[in-house]
Amino acid sequence: MIKKYSSSLMIILIAFIFSLHFTFTLLYNFPLNPISNKYNDSIQHYMNPLFKQNWKLFAPNPVSTNNILYIRGEYTDKNEELKKTEWVDASTPFNTIIHNNRLTPLRLVASMKSSLISEILNETTSDKDYLEKLNVSEDEDLIVLNRFSSNVLNEIHPNYKFLNVEKKIVVNVFPEYGKGKETEKNYEINLPTQPFQLPTT
């Protein structure tokens, strides 16, 4: 009877220790949140130095920005007067479609667009004069992005006689948790204007 009681007590104790350990480990590895912030001292004392890790092991490059491509077209109206369309959000509608249907073929198009935007942002971050030094007519990223933008404008205004396409990337940097909205940043990167050009089939 005593052995059975001791075994049950040992199992309960081990289960409690494991539960406590995994709870502290999860809170330590999660991004900063209200619970881990409240018990931060206790978590740090338990995890350091034996169990020290970094939550970025599971997400080395967490998403910290929302990048939106805006486009507008320059066209001639019936009187041959030069006009421009309003700025069009060429990112959000695609994202909405993908969220509603993960199997949509537009997923590849949106992925391509996001990759091109990320590549351009990386280049402009490392070199502020990147766009000024760029040969717009030969840069593959800008050519593909321009064809995508031209196609979007053509879908919205199929009867317009477009001449040029203007593009800008609006970057919304998410605020850091616990530091308020003062860490939130929004900025724009204006891309070179390019001639209207639909994708080749």
Each domain of the chain, given as residue ranges in start order, spans 2-57, 65-195
146-168 average pLDDT score: 96
pTM surpassing 0.75?
A: no
Tokens 């004069």, residue located: 129
* Cβ(186)–Cβ(70) below 8 Å: no
Q: Any idea which of 53-57, 82-86, 107-111 has the lowest mean pLDDT?
A: 53-57
- The percent of residues above 70 in pLDDT, for the chain, comes to 80
Q: In the predicted model, is pLDDT for residue 62 greater than 70?
A: no
Burial of 191 (0-12, 13-18, 19+ CB in 10 A): buried
* Whole-number pLDDT of residue 59: 52
- H/E stretch holding 76 reads strand 65-76
Q: Any idea which of 39-53, 127-141, 164-178 has the lowest mean pLDDT?
A: 39-53
6-13 average pLDDT score: 79
Binning the chain into helix, strand and coil, the percentages to the nearest 5 are 50, 20, 30
CB neighbour list of residue 154: distance below 8 Å, 6 or more residues apart? 160, 162, 198
- H/E stretch holding 166 reads strand 161-173
Q: In the predicted model, is pLDDT for residue 29 greater than 90?
A: no
Strand partners, 48: none
Tokens 């480990």, residue located: 25
